[in-house]
A and B are shown apart, each in its own frame.
Chain A
Amino acid sequence: MTQPKIRIRGLKKAFGEKKVLDGVDLDVMPGTGMVVIGGSGSGKSVLIKSIIGLVTPDAGVIEIDGEDVLKAPRGRARELRAQIGMLFQNGALFDSLPVWENVTFGLLAQKKIRRAAARGKAIEVLAQVGLAENVAALSPSELSGGMQKRVALARAIASEPAIMFFDEPTTGLDPIMGAVIDELIVDCVKRLGSTSIAITHDMASAQRIGDQAAMLYEGRVCWSGKAEELMTSTDPVVDQFTHGRPHGPIKMALRR
């Protein structure tokens, strides 16, 4: 049987009294696009930040290629995590650097490329996300929201990572630009043969970029299945969330 690229067992994380993750189990098979959905504050971002090492979980196992990154020596954990590329929700481009330096930042940091060759490499990667050569010299603040997302995607794929994370990739974009970004994500992931985890509230986006889907609710994965089954699921929690029904098992705090 094929070993999962990412295997998570019993992952727990609390902030003070609030249990954000309360025993998350999740398998992501190699080359699979996993979409994680869930309400605001359900722990989606904490989940991927735990995998990438930005948040330290309280308990549980996170395996990448069968190795537990939480128990691995620091250097080995860093090596395992170096194969992860991430697209942040708001792009998180470095304001102080031009676009080309943003795109090749990881390559330069890992010494995979020399500074003299970085600009050419950036132009090459920018072309893969549909951006023209002249964008390379611009500052991130000179770009529209959609272009910033594309540059952030270019930065994430520049080092050709084996694993990619997408944190709400279509948030803040109009539906057409959202669909364009989704298409680029699918293209890039397929071309690189990467394993991906995307977290999103956007059901159309979830079905476009995901092969598999999982729903986080009350700190656990309450449902998992094929992404195409999301909208037809009979699970009451998934049904309420995907169709945006105000009434159902998910209780939202309303003040009247």
Chain B
Amino acid sequence: MNFILNLVAAIGAVVLGTVEFVGELGLFAISGVSHIFRPPYYPRLIGRSLMEIGFYSLPVVALTALFTGMVLALQSYTGFSRFNAESAIASIVVLSVTRELGPVLAGLMVSGRAGAAMAAELGTMRVTDQIDALSTLSTDPMKYLVAPRLLAGVIAMPLLVCIADILGVMGGFLVSTEKLGFTPDTYLISTFSHLRTEDVVSGLIKAAVFGFVISLMGSFNGYRSKGGAQGVGAATTSAVVTASILILALDYILTQVLFVK
């Protein structure tokens, strides 16, 4: 009997904890978004966050996209050559990269780099009283620290994914023309003949949502971290893990919403 009661209590604690977490996260997100639209605005901080999230993540996102496009071409060739469907490789590469792999892989990479840095920075500010100090200096920390990061995430990720899309396609092009015997003209014609505007747009919508999620989880976990260095470490880990899981889950939901037969 005790075992059952303990089990129910444990399940209840998990459910309550989850509800509390989701509630806190929801209120934090609403507050953060509302501060984006209300003055004062901090253009310098938005610019700084754009550099942190966008520019400094560019190398890792670019390399990931390039190699993903290259691998995709090789793997597609392995499978498609068994059905004499090698000509579909270009369209498979471009559709996979623009609709799916570009935004998801860029999201995971940016989460690991910029999301972690965001959580560590805000977490350190929290445990060293810098966030409290902001409040005592007539500055709302949500407006000063969180809103610029949320906005920068939504702007920077689509820009990164545009570049990732181009480099991913270029990776496939390089492997297909240099190693698999495609002519450049044939490959490019095949690529663009199957690509529609909505393929790219759906990827960019995903990117904007993922950018918001990365900034939200980095800010949220950093903002409420406690307990010194260990707390900051835990906040950083949690920011990356929760953002990565949310990106993968939201990817399915958005794919379903944006699905075109």
Residues of A at the B interface (CB closer than 8 Å) are 49, 52-54, 78, 81-82, 84-86, 88-90, 92-95, 105-106, 109-110, 155
Number of interface residues of B (CB under 8 A): 12
Chain B residues contacting A53 (CB-CB under 8 Å) are 135
Across the interface, A85 reaches (CB within 8 A) one of B128, B129, B136, B139, namely B136
* A92 touching B132, Cβ below 8 Å: yes
Q: Which residues of A contact B137 (CB under 8 A)?
A: 105-106, 109, 155
Q: How far is the CA of A95 from the CA of B125 in the complex (A)?
A: 9
CB distance from A58 to the nearest CB of B (A): 19
B139 → chain A, closest Cβ, in Å? Answer: 5
A94 to B136, CA, bound (A): 13
Query: In whole angstroms, how far apart are the Cα atoms of A53 and B133 in the complex?
Result: 11
- Whether B138 and A109, one on each chain, are in contact in the complex, defined by CB atoms closer than 8 angstroms, is yes
Q: By DSSP majority rule, is chain B's interface helix, strand, loop, or mixed?
A: helix
Query: How many angstroms between the C-alpha atoms of A256 and B133 in the bound complex?
Result: 40
Q: Contacts A86-B133, A92-B133: A110 and B138 contacting too (C-beta < 8 A)?
A: yes
A54 touches B132 (CB 8 A): yes
Instruction: State the Cβ distance, A167 to closest chain B Cβ, in Å.
Output: 8
Are B135 and A82 in touch, CB under 8 angstroms?
A: no
| Given known A-B contacts A89-B129, A92-B128, A52 and B139 have beta carbons under 8 A apart | no
Is A92 a contact partner of B139 (Cβ separation < 8 A)? no
A88 and B138 contact, CB distance less than 8 A: no
A95/B136 in contact, CB under 8 A: no
Q: List B contacts of A54 (CB < 8 A).
A: 132, 135-136
| CB proximity to A under 8 Å, residues B99-151 | 124-125, 128-130, 132-133, 135-139
B135 pairs with A88, CB closer than 8 A: no
- 12 A-B contacts, Cβ less than 8 Å apart? A49-B132, A54-B135, A81-B136, A86-B133, A90-B128, A94-B130, A94-B133, A95-B130, A105-B139, A106-B136, A106-B137, A110-B138
Q: Chain B residue with minimal CB distance to A55?
A: B132
Interchain CB contact under 8 A, B136 and A109: no
Nearest residue, chain B, Cβ from A112? B138
Q: How many angstroms between the C-alpha atoms of A92 and B127 in the bound complex?
A: 9
Tell me, rounded to whole Å, the shortest Cβ–Cβ distance linking A94 to chain B. Answer: 6
- Chain B: minimal CB distance from A234 (Å): 37
Once bound together, how far apart are the Cα atoms of A84 and B135, in whole Å?
A: 11
Provide the B175-196 mask, 1 if CB < 8 A to any CB of A, else 0: 0000000000000000000000
Q: How far is the CA of A88 from the CA of B126 in the complex (A)?
A: 13
Residue of A with least CB distance to B129: A92
- Other-chain residue from A84, A90, A93 in contact with B136 (beta carbon distance below 8 A): A84
